[in-house]
């Protein structure tokens, strides 16, 4: 998904249901109305948005929650760049951001690891 598509999807998540004009109002330096409408149609074709008729206008909403979409994107990243390995992906994330993690965030990560171990047994 391109950067502008992510911005459009983020605007729809923020607004709930949104027209093309609503989405344009949320974008920095928005492209033309027809460009946003085209991109929203592409997102609909890709299965990220669904269109609803409201009188003469169309409103768009996300087809899945932000959390489910995020999990799907992570699964795609993991299979594309990390040979399907969650440990390789997490190691790469930690290599890049370890110095930026607070003690609280590290404790939360440890708690998630401990929980995964319990569920695996």
pTM, two decimals, is 0.66
The CA distance from 11 to 26, in Å, is 6
Phi, psi of 27 (to 5 degrees): -90, 140
pLDDT (mean) for 15-23: 95
pLDDT bracket for residue 37 (50, 70, 90):
very high
**What is the pLDDT at residue 121?**
62
pLDDT tens digit string along 46-99?
999 999 998 999 999 999 888 887 888 888 888 999 998 888 888 888 887 777
Q: Does residue 21 contact residue 35 with C-beta atoms inside 8 Å?
A: no
């Amino acid at each position: 998904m391109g950067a502008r598509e992510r911005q459009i999807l983020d605007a729809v998540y923020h607004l709930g249901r949104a027209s093309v004009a609503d989405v344009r109002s949320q974008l920095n330096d928005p492209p033309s109305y027809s460009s946003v409408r085209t991109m929203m149609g592409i997102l609909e074709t890709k299965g990220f948005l669904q269109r609803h008729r409201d009188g003469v206008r169309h409103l768009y909403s996300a087809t899945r929650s932000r959390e489910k979409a995020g999990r799907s994107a992570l699964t795609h990243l993991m299979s594309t760049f990390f040979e399907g390995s969650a440990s390789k992906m997490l190691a790469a994330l930690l290599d890049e951001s370890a110095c930026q993690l607070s003690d609280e965030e590290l404790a939360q990560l440890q708690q998630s690891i401990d929980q995964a171990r319990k569920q695996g047994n």
